[in-house]
Structure 1
Amino acid sequence: MIPLHANNLTMQFKDKMLFHIPKLQLMPNEAVYLRGDNGVGKTTLLKVLSGLLQPTSGQLNLHQSRLSRWFSPNKHRIVYLHQTPYLFDDTVYNNVLYAIRFSSLSRQEKRAQVISALRKVGLETLAKEHVSVLSGGEKQRIAMARAWVTKPTILLMDEPSSSLDIESITRLTVLAKELLANGVSLVITSHQQNELTELCTKQWWIKNHTLVESPLLQLIKVPQPQQTFTQTEYL
């Protein structure tokens, strides 16, 4: 089953063509590395795929059913994770709880889900703290925990590792691996290669106002034999 595909997806601002993508397809349990120079439309594409922006033209389809141009990302469990996530003026616990406040889970079940998510990102002990005391990396981890409790079908991660320390990147990677294992599709943008981008097996590259798709070749670092010199060679 194809979770998401698009045909003739175009985004244009006045007379400026940002991109035209004839075909795009995202498969289950697939992690994609979205690349491109600044300003080519990576964030815009993620917002279009999540339903937060309306494309100029084109057709989005999910689960073989055509979506209207405007559709609810929550309804289809498509989650967009911004590089500077919005957090409510509240506690850490309530910021994660917000994502499932209208679900059919019981109060105890919701609490269990939130605590489990906070434990996975290493912030369970800060559950009662106000989000204002968190560092940038901790706020990103809270946003990831909030995405995790929604049980997304697709998670779109916009520069999730920007300015994060190694621990925060590792925590995000653990959750991303768990989501992939459960059949979730990931699209990740990043200007730096790290543990998160290493999860990707395919890349989308926006250039020349379109999208080029190719396998992402994993580079294997082969240790080079140490070269030694005799005195004659050195001279």
Structure 2
Amino acid sequence: MTAKLLINNMRMNFGDRLLFAAPQLEFAQGDVIYLQGENGAGKTTLMKLLAGLVAPSSGSITATGFPARPWWRNQRSVLGRAIYLHQYPYLFDGNVKRNLTHGLKFIDDDKKTIDLRVEQALEMAHLQHLINRTASHLSGGERQRLAIARAWVLQPKLLMLDEPTSNMDKYSQSLIMQMIHQLRELGTGLLISSHQTCELTDLCHNQWIIQQQLIQASAIVATSVTTEDTQYELAN
């Protein structure tokens, strides 16, 4: 079954002000979506909503097609269903290896498979020589490569990238692109926020645009910036 997040009649307010609304949206495995909007439109907030880090003011976000959770975890919660990677990623105290392997304690794969995946992630991110370096001592590009590698090693069903290559040197950008290409080939659903078109946004075949407090979804036409829009109108 395809893993997906379903938005239904969602509204997000800040106090009395409506930030945005979307009667119906879907983010699923295999999707590659370009998220656009002016500064302050709510792109980061939308990603946090989908990650389960904040709750909508009204409406719902539901998860379907994901493996069953342990009995003691909320089966209906979207928290942890989609991985959210901020442009200034949070890294744990400790070294590169600890950061890379932290989430693997929740993975059911055998140790040999996990060790191989960690080795591959270090190689793709070109961090092998830094495996014992304290994460706080890494450069900006190294920190972002580590964050992407940490997501890659989990092979998530859904991944959200908030300005993943901003202020990054070309060397780090090329390494991150390789990891994102691999995730795409594995079927990971990608939601990508970027202020400008680039190699990363060229991967996208759909787009969500936050405009005039509405989220508009459309297919991207490869030969033109023209799109076949499906506009979601705010319900009265």
TM-score range, shorter chain: 0.7 to 0.9
1:151 — aligned with what?
155
Aligned-pair distance for 1:133? 2.8
1:16 — aligned with what?
17
Distance in 1 between residues matched to 2:159 and 2:139, nearest whole Å: 23
Distance in 2 between residues matched to 1:2 and 1:93, nearest whole Å: 29
What TM-score do you get using the length of structure 1 for normalisation? 0.85
Asked whether the 8 Å contact 2:125–2:145 carries over to 1, the reply is: yes
Q: How does 1:211-230 map to 2 (within 5 A)?
A: 211-218=215-222
Aligned-pair distance for 1:28? 2.6
Distance in 2 between residues matched to 1:26 and 1:107, nearest whole Å: 31
1:51 — aligned with what?
52
Is the aligned partner of 1:166 residue 2:170?
yes
2:77 — aligned with what?
71
Larger radius of gyration: 1
Identity, % of aligned pairs?
Answer: 38
Give secondary structure in 2 for the equivalent of 1:89. Answer: coil
Asked whether the 8 Å contact 1:59–1:69 carries over to 2, the reply is: no
Distance in 2 between residues matched to 1:54 and 1:132, nearest whole Å: 31
What TM-score do you get using the length of structure 2 for normalisation? 0.84
1:60 — aligned with what?
61
Aligned-pair distance for 1:215? 1.8
1:230 — aligned with what?
none
Is the aligned partner of 1:179 residue 2:153?
no
Distance in 1 between residues matched to 2:178 and 2:79, nearest whole Å: 24
Is the aligned partner of 1:113 residue 2:113?
no
Is the aligned partner of 1:30 residue 2:31?
yes
Summarize deviations over 1:56-98 as a string: whole Å, max 9, x none: 1112222269xx8982533x3x100011001112111111011
Asked whether the 8 Å contact 1:170–1:195 carries over to 2, the reply is: no
Aligned-pair distance for 1:9? 1.1
Asked whether the 8 Å contact 1:35–1:189 carries over to 2, the reply is: yes
Structure 1 runs of 4+ aligned residues shifted over 6 Å read none
Summarize deviations over 1:153-181 as a string: whole Å, max 9, x none: 10011111110111212211111111111
Unaligned runs of 5+ in 2: 67-73, 225-236
Distance in 2 between residues matched to 1:27 and 1:110, nearest whole Å: 25
Distance in 2 between residues matched to 1:83 and 1:11, nearest whole Å: 22
Give secondary structure in 2 for the equivalent of 1:38. Answer: coil
Asked whether the 8 Å contact 1:153–1:185 carries over to 2, the reply is: yes
Asked whether the 8 Å contact 1:18–1:209 carries over to 2, the reply is: yes
Asked whether the 8 Å contact 1:12–1:19 carries over to 2, the reply is: yes
Instruction: Count how many residue pairs are aligned between Structure 1 and Structure 2.
Output: 216
Unaligned runs of 5+ in 1: 221-235
Give secondary structure in 1 for the equivalent of 2:121. Answer: helix
Cα RMSD after superposing both structures: 2.1
One-letter amino acid of the counterpart of residue 4, structure 2:
P
Aligned-pair distance for 1:128? 1.4
2:88 — aligned with what?
84
